[in-house]
Structure 1
Amino acid sequence: MESQGNSKNCSEHFNEDLKGFCKDCFAGICFRCAIGKHRNHNIVMLDEIDGGDLSTQIDLFDNKLSSIRDKANNLLEKARRFDSHHDRLPDILSKFREIIEKFESGVYKKMIVGELEKNYMQVNEMADKLAIEQSEDTRIFKMPILDSENNDELDIKDFEYISSIIDDRRVLIMKYEQNLKIQKTLIAEYNHIDIDEHIIEFFQSLFIVKKKLTDRRIIHYFEWGNKNIHFYDVVNHKQTKYLVDFDKYIPKFCRTVVTDHGRLFCIAGRHQDNMCCNWMLEYIEEKKCLEHRAVLNDPRSDFTAIYDGEMDRIYAIGGNDAKNFYTNCEYYDVNEDKWVRIANLNVARDSAACCIFNSRYIYVFSGRIKFNPKEITDVCEMYDIEKKNWEIISLNKKNRWVPCDLAMCYQISPTNILIFGGFDRQNRTNATFVFNTSKNTIERASDLPTVGSFSTMVFHIEDKNLYTVGWNNTKKNLYKYSISEGLWSLDEDFTI
């Protein structure tokens, strides 16, 4: 049986296929959902969904409908026995007739059943139940009292309360309509799916390390000023180095980002004559080469690059053109292969610590604002992705913090951001801080095992650890942070 209008893509991550069904949230989920906010929930394979999975919601809806119908009946009966404010009755009766017309004309039926008709048999059966309940509700509001010319016994307050009940009912219907729009992507086509094959594919996506260099368990590092690219498997502690096929050297002070889909990009920087470039290069694993993509709006160096997995965007924040510091910011739409400008920072800076927060905000901490003598700003900003504007954050307990350039930050909880490492005016630091977004406070946390400055992306692996490559005063290190323990360590097997 072919589903009409049935999307197989996740409603939250539009480029991901549905893999399973979360019974706790009553929603279809993809691989990213399964390892993200649904990871501790009761999940079944999409192929295993049956009518039983919908029975709880159907019973809940039936009970709510029955309860609301009984209350409306009781209130209408009570309304016959009370006096009314006669001058307001025509408006009230008109509102009730409008509601009746919506029931009779099929507005609510179209709202709910219209979506259900696109689903499989299990959801259609649910639609039939709702249609029956709807017709019963219509009869309730056809009671003679609404057509009676003798309105002396009506009470305005009772009618207003009934009206509020109906409004609540309308909100409930809209809520379930939204739920059902999601459900149309949930039901598997039972007769044409190899269950064993899909189970294997699902669990491979969840638990098996893919044998590709751009996997999220693989740390990458591009050597500036030559053509060496390094990959490090943090699970097997295996390191690989390739000479990339590219007609120029990897730009100095470039930034690199790998997306959730395994696409690896090298962004801007300075080429051999020390001029800033606007290159967007993608590493093609099969050919071991770099290929050009859409160029940035601004040539830039020493900026901060961060990846937004929800929107599949790469943001370039601040930077410089080798002479002036930038307020300019932009993002790369990975699917569209284009760069889009966003609002400018309030303070021009490069090498700031930046991160995406709750898929809604971009936080920017410190950064360099003058080359010689070097100056660091202590101004922190937040960008609202939906409102598209920057605002300066007023920090509490700011004196406990050491602003740096080439520091790094990353969200570690629903309210906290980890800020670590970097250069103050003269020296690298091993200091780590936790910024609380709800209180705007910064507190000192567990130090790095050695001083370090950072410009490569932070890798969040298996929801347990953060990894990033940094420099101390003698060599490059792979720093590892345990989110649960709040402690840093070095991966001693990593060497460049």
Structure 2
Amino acid sequence: MESRGQGDIKGCNEHPSEETKGFCKDCSAGVCFRCAIGKHRTHTIVNIDELDRRDLETQLTVFETKIDQLREKAQQILEKAKNSESHSEKLPEITRNFQEIKERFGSGQYKEMIVGELERNYAQIKDMYDKLTREEKEDQNLQDKLASLERSTDTSIFDYIRSVIDERNALINAYEKNLKNQKTMIAEFNHFDIKERIIDFFQNIFIVKKKLTDKRIIHYFEWGNKNIHFYDVQSRKQSKYLVDFNNYIPKFCRTVVTDHGRLFCIAGRHQDNVCCNWMLEYIEEHKCLEHKANLNDARSDFTSIYESEKDRIYVIGGNDAKNFYKNCEYYDVGADKWVRMAELNVARDSAACCVFNAKFIYVFSGRIKFSPKEITDVCELYDVEKNIWEIINVKNKSNWIPCDLAMAFQIGPSSILIFGGFDKANRTNATFVFNTNNKTIEKSGDLPTVGSFSTMVFQIDDCLYTVGWNNTKKNLYKYNISDSYWKVDEEFTI
């Protein structure tokens, strides 16, 4: 046995004024007397004078494993850093491009492109006004010519008057057209905020994704009972709680977590299969569901999405167990208030929806008839500021499989991921990418297994997570945005 001498005794990390008297084998830490009777009181503690190297061997193995893991991770980071260095070579060029844009603004080139056209049109209108004023002065000459026709049969006078009328008519028509164009241009720029448009332009190029919450935890509410599941994607640990609530969790409800970590359970059907308009918030401290302001319409099978900039939860479509809804509304989280929105063009439930650039909502497919089941291929776009829905003319729908219970999520400045769902008869593992610029849909890499989805999509770092189910079980699907591939987290079980 190799014991330590008194010269090796040091102060306790937790209590510097106390000497280290022992070693906690459970925590691999030196402890003093206060530690031993405190938080380490139930642990295995060895007197430091009796500490043997064999007592440390197990922990040394753990340390060695962790060091190897850290070394491997450091190597991966070095590789990524090398890639970043190669990308950084482009920074001077990007900087030059921005400088060039700045100089063009400073020199007035962009002003000339837009304001210059308005100024030229204004000059044309002024010239038109001056010419028409002169024409009025020449009217007396024309009147004299007309009077002379009463006394003469000279056809040359007739030809002169006719040519003057034709020229004036052509001139006035041209000026009228010019004036209409000018009014159109002024109307288009009347409410034009150049600063806002420029900011929008650059945001669309360099869009910054926000994490929905700092907590890296996925939730799942079991319909028809009181079980709530949480899964930490970092530690891959799962927990399950029996929620304190007078009723069961409604079937076909939807759940959303906000940027501030507030978790809501929305509407659905309760025990007697009747749609409800409940808005419930999960209170973590008491493991309970608390009623908030009710929805305007009782509904189930709708789609719910969260928009962080305005702190709103949008509810799109759904049904009342008999009819499909065009009705939409949003929940103002801070005000605890539901507000009606414009109606969809096509009533539907279980559509794939997502917020886009915090200004629009895209809606893809959805169910429009219960039996026999029918799925619509009509896609719609909602303008948040204008409160208007419009139908999108998708150019290549033949590439796509319209489904209900599919999901959508923005993955780039002009890209929306659409995945999974249930067509008329079967679940699918198909994934597609919709391009918002050219309105096309292209096939992408398949899900590892077929899946239907109704749970919120979480973005954590560069990955999307959502719970889906197939014919055998529920899975946690993970999508890597940068590398464009799917996998199933095998540690997640329900």
Coarse TM-score class (shorter-chain normalised): 0.5 to 0.7
Structure 1 segment 400-439 matched on structure 2, within 5 A? 400-439=399-438
Any idea what the Cα deviations from partners look like across 1:295-335, whole Å, max 9, x if unmatched? 00000000000000011000000000000000000000000
What is the match of residue 482 of structure 2?
Answer: 484
Moved over 3 A (4+): none
8 Å CA contact 1:456–1:470 kept in 2: the answer is yes
Q: Does 1:373 align with 2:369?
A: no
Letter of the structure 1 residue corresponding to residue 360 of structure 2: Y
What is the match of residue 309 of structure 2?
Answer: 310
What is the match of residue 295 of structure 1?
Answer: 294
Q: 456, 463, 466: which one pairs with 1:465?
A: 463
- TM-score, normalised to structure 2's length? 0.58
What is the match of residue 189 of structure 2?
Answer: none
The whole-number CA distance in structure 2 between the counterparts of 1:302 and 1:215 is: 28
What is the match of residue 73 of structure 1?
Answer: none
What is the match of residue 219 of structure 2?
Answer: 220
SS state of the match for residue 412, structure 1? strand
What is the match of residue 493 of structure 1?
Answer: 491
What is the match of residue 359 of structure 2?
Answer: 360
SS state of the match for residue 404, structure 1? coil
8 Å CA contact 1:216–1:461 kept in 2: the answer is no
Give 1:473 shift: 1.0
Structure 1 segment 18-167 matched on structure 2, within 5 A? none
Letter of the structure 1 residue corresponding to residue 396 of structure 2: K
Alpha-carbon spacing, 1:215–1:242, altered in 2? closer, same or farther (3 Å): farther
Any idea what the Cα deviations from partners look like across 1:348-402, whole Å, max 9, x if unmatched? 0000000000110000000000000000000000000011100000001110100
The whole-number CA distance in structure 2 between the counterparts of 1:388 and 1:292 is: 28
What is the match of residue 336 of structure 1?
Answer: 335
Give 1:215 shift: 5.0
Alpha-carbon spacing, 1:414–1:396, altered in 2? closer, same or farther (3 Å): same
Letter of the structure 2 residue corresponding to residue 298 of structure 1: D
8 Å CA contact 1:216–1:260 kept in 2: the answer is no
Q: Does 1:389 align with 2:385?
A: no
Letter of the structure 1 residue corresponding to residue 229 of structure 2: H
The whole-number CA distance in structure 1 between the counterparts of 2:486 and 2:215 is: 20
Rg comparison, structure with higher value: 2
The whole-number CA distance in structure 2 between the counterparts of 1:357 and 1:434 is: 14
- Relative contact order, higher structure (CA 8 A, sep 6+): 1
Letter of the structure 2 residue corresponding to residue 241 of structure 1: K
What is the match of residue 263 of structure 1?
Answer: 262
Q: Does 1:248 align with 2:247?
A: yes
The whole-number CA distance in structure 2 between the counterparts of 1:347 and 1:229 is: 34
The whole-number CA distance in structure 1 between the counterparts of 2:308 and 2:485 is: 26
Any idea what the Cα deviations from partners look like across 1:185-214, whole Å, max 9, x if unmatched? xxxxxxxxxxxxxxxxxxxxxxxx9xxxx8
8 Å CA contact 1:259–1:307 kept in 2: the answer is yes
Alpha-carbon spacing, 1:276–1:215, altered in 2? closer, same or farther (3 Å): farther
Letter of the structure 2 residue corresponding to residue 376 of structure 1: I
Any idea what the Cα deviations from partners look like across 1:103-151, whole Å, max 9, x if unmatched? xxxxxxxxxxxxxxxxxxxxxxxxxxxxxxxxxxxxxxxxxxxxxxxxx
What is the match of residue 455 of structure 1?
Answer: 454
SS state of the match for residue 294, structure 2? coil
What is the match of residue 134 of structure 1?
Answer: none
What is the match of residue 34 of structure 1?
Answer: none
The whole-number CA distance in structure 2 between the counterparts of 1:410 and 1:375 is: 24
Alpha-carbon spacing, 1:175–1:411, altered in 2? closer, same or farther (3 Å): closer
- TM-score, normalised to structure 1's length? 0.58
Alpha-carbon spacing, 1:402–1:175, altered in 2? closer, same or farther (3 Å): closer
Letter of the structure 1 residue corresponding to residue 472 of structure 2: T
Letter of the structure 2 residue corresponding to residue 483 of structure 1: I
SS state of the match for residue 290, structure 1? strand
The whole-number CA distance in structure 1 between the counterparts of 2:351 and 2:414 is: 20
SS state of the match for residue 399, structure 1? helix
Letter of the structure 1 residue corresponding to residue 399 of structure 2: R
Letter of the structure 2 residue corresponding to residue 492 of structure 1: E
The whole-number CA distance in structure 2 between the counterparts of 1:353 and 1:342 is: 18
What is the match of residue 154 of structure 1?
Answer: none
The whole-number CA distance in structure 2 between the counterparts of 1:393 and 1:175 is: 27
Any idea what the Cα deviations from partners look like across 1:417-466, whole Å, max 9, x if unmatched? 0000000000000000000000000000000000000000000001x000
**Please, which runs of 5 or more residues in structure 2 have no aligned partner?**
1-86, 89-101, 109-125, 128-192, 196-210
SS state of the match for residue 424, structure 1? coil
The whole-number CA distance in structure 2 between the counterparts of 1:387 and 1:328 is: 17
SS state of the match for residue 465, structure 2? strand
8 Å CA contact 1:216–1:459 kept in 2: the answer is no
The whole-number CA distance in structure 2 between the counterparts of 1:341 and 1:351 is: 19
Alignment length, in residue pairs?
301
Give 1:472 shift: 1.1
Give 1:175 shift: 10
Aligned sequence identity (%): 75
Q: 465, 472, 475: which one pairs with 1:474?
A: 472
SS state of the match for residue 339, structure 1? strand
What is the match of residue 325 of structure 1?
Answer: 324
Alpha-carbon spacing, 1:376–1:363, altered in 2? closer, same or farther (3 Å): same
Give 1:216 shift: 3.7
What is the match of residue 170 of structure 1?
Answer: none
Alpha-carbon spacing, 1:435–1:175, altered in 2? closer, same or farther (3 Å): closer
The whole-number CA distance in structure 2 between the counterparts of 1:378 and 1:310 is: 30
Any idea what the Cα deviations from partners look like across 1:256-281, whole Å, max 9, x if unmatched? 00000000000000000000000000
SS state of the match for residue 412, structure 2? coil
Letter of the structure 1 residue corresponding to residue 340 of structure 2: R
What is the match of residue 277 of structure 2?
Answer: 278
The whole-number CA distance in structure 2 between the counterparts of 1:215 and 1:279 is: 27
The whole-number CA distance in structure 2 between the counterparts of 1:290 and 1:379 is: 36
The whole-number CA distance in structure 2 between the counterparts of 1:304 and 1:356 is: 12
